[in-house]
């Protein structure tokens, strides 16, 4: 379990004097540059950066660990790591990807520590023998837009639930690929398994999702 650290970033801006430049009007890049000035990040700028990207971190952790009750502690640890290391970020324009990697690596560190051994669910049936890239998937990274019809919203809700029901190993792998957009090589590095194992897990997870969604798709025709 992650140790709870008593920090309240949201209260920092209240304790500090007002700035002449309105922080909330700065671009993300300017915020990051301000955080990289001096020996420590500007806390007002960092608080604004946290507020802008906290939903993104929460979403990553929810996708990876929907049944973990300590996600707030993990999110707090993510921002502690960002605070300590933001000055090492060479390209501020790549902050979001950098933040994603910190969040994903922290999650997987905790997953290894927990050594959870849930009863395996077989995902071997009817696995496609074609190239893994031949399987076309579009797993949304965001909630459908308001103008999307109800059937689309229903489908994405069903898809998200199907992903959440996958065995943890398969769920994590396909989320890293389809939602986080990591390469097979990056996933292999994070999960510490072979490239072939990564491709196999993704193929099996996709096949399982296809089987789970097939009844719904057939009813739509």
pLDDT tens, per residue, the chain with 221 residues: 545 444 554 444 444 444 456 888 889 999 999 999 988 898 899 999 999 999 999 988 988 888 888 999 999 999 999 999 999 999 998 898 899 889 988 988 887 777 554 444 344 433 333 444 433 444 444 444 444 444 566 777 777 788 888 888 888 888 888 878 888 998 888 888 899 999 999 999 988 888 888 777 767 65
Structure tokens at 117: 């051994």
Distance CA 211, CA 142 (A): 23
Element (DSSP H or E) covering residue 151: helix 150-164
- Give this prediction's pTM: 0.62
Residue 190 has a pLDDT of 84
Q: What is the CATH number of domain 132-220?
A: 1.10.10.10
Indicate the DSSP class of residue 115: T
CB atoms near residue 201 (< 10 Å): 24
List every span in the chain annotated with CATH 1.10.10.10: 132-220
List every span in the chain annotated with CATH 1.10.1740.10: 9-114
Distance CA 107, CA 71 (A): 9
Indicate the DSSP class of residue 23: G
Cα separation values, 206 from 45, 136, 202, Å? 41, 9, 6
Distance CA 60, CA 121 (A): 24
9-114: which CATH number, 1.10.1740.10, 3.30.1490.20, 1.10.357.10, 3.40.50.300? 1.10.1740.10
Residue 129 has a pLDDT of 36
């Amino acid at each position: 379990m992650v140790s709870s650290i008593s920090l309240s970033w949201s209260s920092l801006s209240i304790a500090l004097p007002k700035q002449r430049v309105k922080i909330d009007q700065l671009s993300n890049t300017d915020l990051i540059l301000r955080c990289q000035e001096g020996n420590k990040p500007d806390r007002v700028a960092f608080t604004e950066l946290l507020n802008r990207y906290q939903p993104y971190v929460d979403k990553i952790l929810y996708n990876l660990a929907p049944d973990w009750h300590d996600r707030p502690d993990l999110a707090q640890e993510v921002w502690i790591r960002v605070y300590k290391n933001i000055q090492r970020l060479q390209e501020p324009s790549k902050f979001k990807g950098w933040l994603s990697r910190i969040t994903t690596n922290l999650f997987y560190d905790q997953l290894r520590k927990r050594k959870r051994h849930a009863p395996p669910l077989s995902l071997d049936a009817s696995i496609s023998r074609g190239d893994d890239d031949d399987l076309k998937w579009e797993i949304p990274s965001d909630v459908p837009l308001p103008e999307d019809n109800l059937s689309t919203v229903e489908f994405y809700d069903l898809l998200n639930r199907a992903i959440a029901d996958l065995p943890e190993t398969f769920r994590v792998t396909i989320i890293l690929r389809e939602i986080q957009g990591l390469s097979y090589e990056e996933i292999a590095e994070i999960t510490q398994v072979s490239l072939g194992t990564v491709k196999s897990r993704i193929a099996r997870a996709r096949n399982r999702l296809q089987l789970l969604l097939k009844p719904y798709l057939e009813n739509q025709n």
